Structures are given as C-alpha cells and as structure tokens.
Amino acid sequence: QTLYNLGARRIIVTGVGPIGCIPYQLTLNLRRDGNCVPSANKLALDYNSALGDLILELNSKLPGSMFSYANAYNVVCDVITN
C-alpha cells in the first residue's frame, strides 16, 4: 500500500517458493533422502494463498491499482523436478 501511496499502480508481488526444499530445512529436519519437508512447504502454500487473497483485496480497494501475483512456488518446484 505504501508503493500505491507513492504513485505506483502496477505492482508484482511474488509468493514464496517451496521453503521445505532449501538446504537449511533439509539439514534442520535431518532429511538425508533429499525429499522436501512437507510441513514447511505447507506453510509456504498457506502463506501464498493468503497473499493471493490480499492481492484481490488491494485491487478492489485501491482505485486504478493492478497488483499481480507471481507464483514462485510452482516455478521452483518445476526447476527441482526437471
């Protein structure tokens, strides 16, 4: 909203990636098999869902604004799998 107040009207907001797949989480949770930590990834998905709702709210609340959501979670998952 601060960017909007400064005059920005087109803003891209990026969600978080699969944090359960980062080396820190794998080490912290003793995942030696290389599989991601499901509980950490669920937190990321829940956050991204709430962020999407917030973006919809901001678009309807701030006249002339165009907030867009960039889905980093799926992009990073695709990179990991491929």
Count of the separate structural domains present in the chain: 1
C-alpha atoms less than 13 angstroms from C-alpha of 8 in its C-beta half-sphere: 13
Predicted structure pTM score? 0.86
Cα-flanking dihedrals φ and ψ of residue 10, to 5°?
A: -115, 115
Spatial separation of the C-alpha atoms in residues 78 and 30, rounded to whole Å? 23
Say whether pLDDT at 5 is over 90. Answer: yes
Parent domain of 31: 1-81
Q: pLDDT digit string (tens) for 11-57? A: 999 999 999 999 999 999 998 887 999 999 999 999 999 999 999 99
| Distances 76 to 19, 50, 81 between C-alpha atoms, Å | 10, 19, 9
Helices (H), the chain: 2-5, 23-28, 38-61, 72-81
